[in-house]
Amino acid sequence: MQRQRAAAIADDALNSTSLSAALVGLLLALPAALILHRTLRAHLTPAHQQEQQQQQQPEADKKEEKTSIMQAERTDLAPPKDDPFTLEQLKEFDGSDEYKPIYVAIKGASGVSFSPLYHRLTRALALFRAGTVFDVTHKRDTYGPGKSYSIFAGKDASKGLGMSSLKEEDAVPDYSTLPANERKVLDDWHAFFTKRYNVVGKVVDLPNAVANL
């Protein structure tokens, strides 16, 4: 009987010793786990932040691209010119030659004469002149080769402007098929350019469909 009791006491002591050892081991492991957690966090957080920044960067670029064309109205514009341009001649002014200006034409031909009398009137009269050729050279960073709106340089791409499209197939002068709302957009673009870019001439050989629009 005494032997059995002694054996039971010994088992209890052994179990208590094992439990104590386990608790001590756990307590010793906690600081190590905390250090490991902090180390991993210090290394992983910058990478995560960098990945987040990379994901957000395209959105920032898009925002910058959308706003790059916007600018305040100018008060130093030169009197409008009425130099005639053909569509073929306009191609020379697409920005590919850094020594030549960049021109953008908008809104077909109207047949309105650009007499010296008009040059002495306010710039607002230019709003009524269709087929306008604008000098956008000072925005080469926007209309130059490979830039956001280079699709409009060296041509009349009125249809694309009305559609708010940057597709090559839409960058054509015949906007006669545009619905009323897109023609309104085109008119707004014409007004926008008139207040910000010098008028250097008019296009004389646009499609008949838009010649008198």
pLDDT of 87-108, one tens digit each?
Answer: 999 999 999 999 999 999 998 5
Question: How does residue 168 score in pLDDT terms, banded at 50, 70 and 90?
Answer: very high
Kindly report the CATH number that applies to the domain delimited by 83-211.
3.10.120.10
Residue pair 104/161 in contact (Cβ under 8 Å)? The answer is no
Residue pair 201/135 in contact (Cβ under 8 Å)? The answer is no
Rounded to the nearest integer, the mean pLDDT of the chain is 74
Dihedral pair phi/psi, residue 103, rounded to 5°? -115, 145
Decide if pLDDT at 196 tops 60: yes
Domain-wise residue ranges, the chain = 1-67, 83-211
**Confidence (pLDDT) at 198:** 96
C-alpha to C-alpha distance for 107 and 143, rounded to whole angstroms? 18
Q: Which of 34-38, 94-98, 109-113 has the highest mean pLDDT?
A: 94-98
**Predicted structure pTM score:** 0.60
**Structure tokens, 126:** 């230019």
Residue pair 139/152 in contact (Cβ under 8 Å)? The answer is no
Q: How far is CA 212 from CA 14, 72, 129, in A?
A: 106, 31, 11
Strand pairing report for 198-203 and 132-135 = antiparallel
